[in-house]
Each structure stands twice: as structure tokens, then as C-alpha cells.
Amino acid sequence: MAKQPIANQIRTLRFLAGEMTQAELGEKIGLTRQTVAAIEAGKYSPTLEAAFRIARVFGKPLEDVFQWED
Amino acid sequence: MSFREKIAWAAFVTTLLAWGGYFAVVIARAANGGTHDPMLFWLFLAAMIGQTVLVVAVAIVSAILAPGDAHAAPDERDRRVGQRASALAYGVVLVAIAAVIVWLHLGLRGTNIIFALIGVFILGEAVRFGAKAIGYRVGG
């Protein structure tokens, strides 16, 4: 499988948000725990809408959560 | 493994087992005398009911073990995995239908045409379930 060019800081941000679980994050943005885990592991690139929702949960701009890696 | 991934794997494996067994008998009959045999109808029912019972059993056990997962609405990843699997299966069905049409011109006759078309449908479903299961494994 080709490596996704999008890195993310979700694990760190969850930790900083009081060790928020993947299930809790998923519940806030309407995704399953497995989908959050896949996004976090870089196996699945979320839609733009889901990406904005994730950033909003952590109160961060999108580019602080997701980064394009060349 | 999510509830939907378990169902996809169960559907894929049971499709291979139930319909693989069914078509092994059909092909053996076609090679040795013909497929005009009422036993094949009962075998068809057995494959269909057997697969349904197995998938429902997996769904019930999975739902009991993780009720939250089972009740969760499909999300964007579920939909994307499903769309990709359906697109792949559609392509496979198109090629298989073309193969059956060619086969018709090469001597496929009678009830064997029906069995070939059932085979195309089952092949499409196997590819769809398999692609879904693998799609979940690799991330979506």
C-alpha cells in the first residue's frame, strides 16, 4: 500500500486533551473508533469536512492537525 | 476489527465456502452427463440458506460482544470502502458477462447458461465482499 502523503498530530492532540480516547473523538465528529484509528495511523485520509471537524474539536487550525508531506 | 469488517469477512468466507462447494458439484455434473438434476436445486437452496445462517450467526455474536459497534451508523470510511468494492465488483461482473457471451458462441447451451449467469452473480458478490474486507484491513 502506498504511504499517505498526509501526516497528522491527532495522537498528540488527544493526549493534550486529557488523553481523549479514539472513541470519544469519533463520537464528537460522527466517525467510528476504527475510522479515527485508521486516520491516526495514516491509513485513511479523511474528507475535508471530517478533517475540519477534527481540528475544531481540538480548537486548532487545520494545518496544526494535518500536514502535507512531500 | 469493526462490526462491518467482521460482516464483510464472514460474507466473503461463507461465499467462497457455500458457493465454491455448490459450483464444484455443478461443474462436476456438467462434465459428467449434464446439469438437469433436481439435486442441484436443493443444493442451491442449501448454499443460500447455509450462507445466510452463517452470516446472521456471525452478526448476532458480534453484536452481542460489541453492541455499540453494531449500532453505529456507517461513516464516511464505511461508505468509501463500500463504493470501491462495488466499483471493482461491477468491473469483474462486466468482464465475466462478456466471457459468458463468448462462451455462448463456443457451445454453452441449455441450463448451463443459467448456471454460468448464477456464477457471474456469485463471482461479483465474492469480489465485492472480499474487496470490502481487504479495504477495511488496509485502512480504507
- C-alpha to C-alpha distance for B111 and B74, rounded to whole angstroms: 40
Residue A18 inside a domain? The answer is yes
Residue A49 inside a domain? The answer is yes
User: Does A36 reach chain B within 8 Å, measured CB to CB?
Assistant: no
Q: Which residue has the cell 492532540?
A: A13
pLDDT per residue as tens digits for the range B103-139: 999 988 888 899 999 999 999 999 999 999 999 998 8
At residue A3, the pLDDT reads 62
Q: What is the pTM of this model?
A: 0.86
Identify the domain containing residue A11 by its residue range: 6-62
- C-alpha to C-alpha distance for A8 and B51, rounded to whole angstroms: 41
Q: Which of A37, A15, A12 is nearest to A26 (CA)?
A: A37
Residue of B nearest to A4 (CA): B139
- The number of folded domains in chain A is 1
Residue ranges for chain A with pLDDT beneath 70: 1-4
Residue A19 inside a domain? The answer is yes
Residues of B with Cβ-Cβ distance to A47 under 8 angstroms:
76
Secondary structure class of A4 (helix, strand, coil): coil
Q: Say how far residue B71 (Cα) sits from the centre of its chain.
A: 24
- C-alpha to C-alpha distance for B69 and B78, rounded to whole angstroms: 13
User: Does B2 reach chain A within 8 Å, measured CB to CB?
Assistant: yes
Total beta-carbon pairs less than 8 A apart between chain A and chain B = 37
CB B40 within 8 A of CB B26: yes
User: CATH no. for residue A56?
Assistant: 1.10.260.40
- C-alpha to C-alpha distance for B98 and A60, rounded to whole angstroms: 53
The minimal CB distance from B76 to the residues A1, A41, A47 is found for: A47
Residue A23 inside a domain? The answer is yes
